[in-house]
Structure 1
């Protein structure tokens, strides 16, 4: 948090004597950016602090508040800290208590999250602490209470930690709207954003600003730390396909044994379970290694975090559940299993190691297949050049706005004109059209045109003077029970038959199990015994062939920046010398057999194999966009008479196979597929229905939790599907259908990225007809059978992953005999 004292003269430090003495007693001086934050606070400025992990961002956010409260701490809430993680709020609380206690400051700090007891929440309304640490969801709940106007009346500062992780998300939309309300209650309140990785600085400043304008927020930069040491794990036989990187498990175990504490990051929860089991089986030295992901019970995750804090673990296998914030200085190695999918994400994970500015973060990447080697190298080059990536924050969504409007009505009546002005002061909604606002308000009032006949959707009452108030106490109760924007797949609790709840898995997965089936969860092999009400009962099992939970929504999006870097690397043989010999030889063979995909072209290969015809397109648009493309291509191929049999997609490539060969590739990939074909597919797509369900839950149309009961996932899905069909037929411009289409631009369908890829490809398609599979196509063909969607052709034509396919692509050439021209 601080740096070593290199000068005894600290007379220019803008801190009270007690602070100077506290720093001096430890031989420390504050970082310049921490002091600059104190100066900015005295000038009444809003600020964004950008500082590397371990550079004291958190203290910079609180130092000004601690200084202001040091001499005279009046009753009431002074500073509100917002964290994207409950665990991070708890960790910050612990870290703040030390200097406050040691300096004897009259400052009370407390947390307020979903885990806070009801008695403590009630007491905080009457007697709030000086500094309150909370989350976006808990803040939205507090704002829905009548007491919000008195609770926040004296608020002086809002500190948003890990701001980059919130901006551009629905949680970020919710927080921006809540901050707009806070500024209406307390106009003098100032905002502070904290972040280590910011790819789009102006966009983040606009999101943070009280008026949505970037120039209203000052940037304060922290000094750079020691450059991270990042490498690719070498000396392994690299698989052609697969994403779990289990081939590297032995090497990972060796690295854990050589290091102090290691975090092994994976990209999905299923991968976390499988990798943990694989490492545990070879843990001959009984090293203390744990598992951490979002489906595990809260108690289990907290035990792992506490063990990490006291240095009781040598390693932990984790998903993005440990990406952010928690300060474990003892971590000295991060291992990324599989490709990182983004430079900014990789930097965030690397920052978990060497949590000090004078200690280099050390990371090793273990690619899961040959394409991922390219992505890993591109990511390392991005880290070296500090080329941060990711999409800029997009406009605020309408479903979140609907939830927020109802929450404000629960607190106090409002005038729609005043509320519109307030909402458009929030960065994500700065350009919100008045008609869109009015439509959302109408929906919140009575459900809109197609639903207004139903009494259950009447939630607001319009008074004679034009203002709105909530329709009754039942509306308030139900709204508060369903606040939040985090929508997970319907889950079922997993409980040991004679023991505690272990966590939750997706409902559809459990519904596919028969009593006696086994699966891996929480690092244990479990046998499914049956249901007791809505809980899956399990018992410890023996054996080594479990079914593995396939968690939905676990894949991380592949950034456009990394996609472009991989394409450029493929097209530039001078960069191949940094690749393992296996991979560079693979690329040279592709160059000899076919052609490499260029950075500004769409390479499409077609070839016959085993009585079927294959078309492989190297789009590099990410798995979600490719999945949507596959659906559209098979529809077009069906109409054209090609007899599509199925498709499979990865982040890099899509392969489609059919009865007859495609004769007009350019027509097949024409961007007009984004018209009627897309509309027809979206109308019937289960992905679109799932997207609508999520928007309907956030907007309060479908309530997951009701007094005394909670709907099952099946009930929620059934209700959503019925309403979706009604709205499509009778109110096609309903705001929830608009919200669904907005969500479809990214997320599960990634329509916007697909449209951009098709647009760029027009007139730049290179089609190579081959007599056999190309080397570059082998990885995607090895994925066939793992996920397929069939047309009207045969429904059982799967390709077995075998050495025959690789031998066919290599054409009998052995290592060292490859022609170079």
Structure 2
């Protein structure tokens, strides 16, 4: 390809020109920065051309430094992605310009799906550019010759950085980058993101605190139309609860798919995806073979078939979860439907970007509410997206379980000296506040197992030699460590297989344990009959009956984000003034007007408190609009503080908007209406006292124990059951609690419960906001439209579906009779 190649980006511009394309200004900006040896973060709309902005800049710089010859260059660039499916798609995109500009250079793909033959080929000679995941990169760091293989890496790209930054996988990536910077001090690092609210911080986390020259934040602004609309139910009604409108949206969704090209139907959880796949087939049986299901528990071959069908446009619709959230390039997709609330502005925009995934094409997401409050959420989400109110993603602060794993990794990969590794680890953002005492404790824990495991040789994982270098000497320790690398922890899964032996996918052991022989359940879009369990596999046959249950997975429900909940309250404020602007608020008008008539509509400046007396006892409803995680801690805190003043027993219920406390014995609500109970004084003590904090910490410790390598998931073909893993982690927890009280992993478990499960900082902020709002107390004659969903949440815990339906029918009948009297 001939071109004048004197300026930075010339190779890149020439390649684009050869395809009839012109680079955007932000792409040229990235090319210039890469040519200057600068790291940075590129934030641009999905489908705007981020991949070619960074990759062509890197390729251009490499061609200047290493003019292509007959032989392939050794490993020079690593492209990290958070998903295996995304890795495969990215590799294809990177390969096109590589073949044209440097035909002899090579590209490799290394993930958990890479065959042993391909790995062996790479081991003999690494490719010029490697597309991989954080886990696979960490595995490369365990190799004795890892430094020799990776020392030539000059460029690293972290794709979909917003998906990694807030998790322990992101911390794992930070530590890997710190090691690569030690191998190659001039390492250039770039992150790609489409939906982030804290861009400056995200860039610092990626590039390290001492990057020189300073990193560059590039905003890729191009004209890209984002259409956000709502599929409104014909009769939302005056009362609603979780899932109330769900099945009623079946035909409207089917009609939308019929009017569109290839459509992605997103749900938030796998069980909901299974349900909606069945709803589509029930409405249109002739669509069998033309619609598909995609989630992370399905067999890889099935997922790849679905992804290929989306790329080729041969599928009419795919029902999916977050397994298709990220930037896999599905050009034929025209529409995205989001069933239920996306719970966050960033997630909604990310999913919208799966349609119109190319510059100049509009992206469209249609929100499908499953209850009337989600209609209000839909309008709020559109406004928040238009105003750019996108959620922040904050990195975890010094997770020591990840550090334990990393220290053993580096000891395997050639060894380390403590002073040098402390300096290296401290250069990673999440460990910038790590003290030397904490680091020394972790090293000692890896060396001797802490104060309580010294008698057990298998926990003496690293050994210090006479030169002060720590290494792994035991082959068994090395094998177990390599098998356990990673920070993704889930409950033990069993394979689902036909009696013939064909694998369908995986399902959590806890669900299978509840089934009896002959029970039927929907999975992978099929109705299956459970036959037996053998060797961690559940054997099934196609069911002849036409009814079954839907599997439940342990993934927790997503909580409403602060940005979206604030936007919802602003919508409610307009309704409180009698303003129902837009089709969504007009559709929700009957419910909102009923709420106003029976109680009050919550607003940003008010805190709605409702009191109600029933045959169950005294009910108290509070609506902070802080999300279900905060409300869990808040409900427990308020109940504990109320019972401390006046001994009592409370039942609780929560959702994203508020909480319910109910007691058979009467209680004084004055501490609530006076706001005294919202004090932040002794908050940490009171929160821990109000919850079964020991159980919460023990559950969190299970994950920590597995990441830190204390508990092994077993060997290939010999996985441990969930019961075995729980028993092992529980034993460690009790041993540390009784005999090693200073164990920092126990402290981490408590900190993670407070920061992640209960969101203590957000709880404190919520209490502060509640004190600044004017309390509005409403005495209810019967449940309001906002309190009824909380009642339903509590009923679901103890009533069957039929009993719940009868109970609701009676409540609604009584309310209607009372209103007409």
Q: 2:811 aligns with which of 781, 805, 809?
A: 805
- Aligned partners of 1:154 and 1:264: how far apart in 2? 43
Question: 1:254: which partner in 2?
Answer: 255
- Structure 2 residue 470 is the aligned partner of structure 1 residue 468: yes
Question: 1:168–1:395: 8 Å Cα contact kept in structure 2?
Answer: no
Q: Deviations over 1:391-438 (max 9, x none)?
A: 433423111111111111111221111111101111222222222222
Partner of 1:749: 758
Segments of structure 1 that go 5 or more residues without pairing to the other structure are 1-8, 790-796
**1:701 to 2:710 alignment:** yes
Contact 2:636 2:691 in 1 (8 A): no
Q: 1:732/1:605 Cα in 2 relative to 1: closer, same or farther (>3 Å)?
A: farther
Matched, 1:72 2:68: yes
Query: What residue in structure 2 maps to residue 717 of structure 1?
Result: 726
**Cα root mean square deviation, aligned:** 2.7
CA distance in 1, matches of 2:809, 2:39: 61
Corresponding residue for 2:381?
379
CA contact (8 A) 1:775 1:810 kept: no
Residues 1:264 and 1:707: Cα distance change in structure 2 (over 3 Å): closer
Correspondent of 2:601 among 582, 596, 600:
596
* Residue aligning to 1:325: 327
Instruction: Tell me which of 334, 349, 364 is aligned to 2:351.
Output: 349
Higher mean alpha-carbon deviation, 478-487 vs 723-732, is at 723-732
- 1:185/1:800 CA distance change after superposition, 3 Å: farther
Matched, 1:649 2:651: no
TM superposition shift of 1:656: 2.3
Bigger mean CA deviation after superposition, 125-134 or 386-395: 386-395
Could you tell me how far 1:653 is from its partner in structure 2? 1.7
1:235 deviation in Å?
A: 4.2
How far does the alpha carbon of each residue in 1:144-203 deviate from its partner, in whole angstroms, 9 at most, with x for none?
A: 111111111111100110111111210000000000000101112210111112210111
Residue aligning to 2:38: 45
Aligned counterpart for 1:411 among listed residues 406, 413, 432: 413
Q: Structure 1 residues 543 and 758 mapped into 2: Cα distance closer, same or farther (>3 Å)?
A: farther
SS of corresponding position for 2:613: strand
* Residue of structure 2 equivalent to 1:281: 282
CA contact (8 A) 2:379 2:585 kept: no
Q: Partner of 2:617 in structure 1?
A: 612
C-alpha displacement of 1:355: 1.0
Alignment CA distance shift 1:812-1:648 (3 Å): same
Task: Give 1:459's aligned residue.
Answer: 461
Q: Hey, what's the Cα distance between the residues in 1 that align with 2:574 and 2:212?
A: 38
Q: Distance in 1 between matches of 2:109 and 2:603?
A: 53
Residue 386 of structure 1 deviates from its aligned partner by: 1.9
Aligned twin of 1:27: 20
| Aligned-partner Cα distance in 1 for 2:417–2:692 | 37
1:108, distance to aligned residue in structure 2 (A): 0.8
Q: Distance in 2 between matches of 1:813 and 1:203?
A: 54
Structure 1 pair 226/661, CA: closer, same or farther in 2 (3 Å)?
A: same
Separation (CA, whole Å) in 2 of partners of 1:301 and 1:214:
42
Q: Is the contact between residue 698 and residue 733 of structure 2 (CA under 8 Å) also seen in structure 1?
A: yes
Bigger mean CA offset, 545-554 vs 299-308: 545-554
Which residue number in structure 1 is paired with residue 626 of structure 2? Answer: 621
Q: Mean Cα displacement is larger for which, 238-247 or 160-169?
A: 238-247
| Alignment partner, residue 772 of structure 1 | 782
Cα gap change, 1:103 to 1:685, in 2 (>3 Å): same
> Could you report, residue by residue, the CA deviation over 1:438-462 in whole angstroms, capped at 9, with x for unpaired residues?
2222222222223333332211223
- Whole-Å Cα distance in 2 between the matches of residues 396 and 215 of structure 1? 26
Q: Aligned in 2, Cα 1:754/1:311: closer, same or farther, shift over 3 Å?
A: same
SS for the counterpart of 1:802 is helix
Query: Structure 2 unaligned runs (5+)?
Result: none
Paired residues for 1:730-745 under 5 Å: 730-745=739-754
Moved more, 365-374 or 661-670: 661-670
Please report the TM-score for the alignment, with normalisation by the length of structure 2: 0.92
Equivalenced residues, count: 799
User: Aligned partners of 2:444, 2:692: CA distance in 1, in Å?
Assistant: 25
1:62 pairs, out of 48, 55, 71, with 55
Alpha-carbon displacement from aligned partner over 1:589-625 (angstroms, at most 9, x marks no partner): 3223222333245432121123422121212222223
Q: In 2, distance between residues paired with 1:11 and 1:150?
A: 32
Query: Once structures 1 and 2 are overlaid, which stretch shifts more, 32-41 or 592-601?
Result: 592-601
Contact 1:23 1:29 in 2 (8 A): yes
User: Which residue in 1 is equivalent to 2:404?
Assistant: 402
Query: Secondary structure of the residue that 1:498 maps to in structure 2?
Result: coil
1:738-771 per-residue CA deviation (whole Å, 9 max, x = no partner) reads 2212321343333332333234334755443333
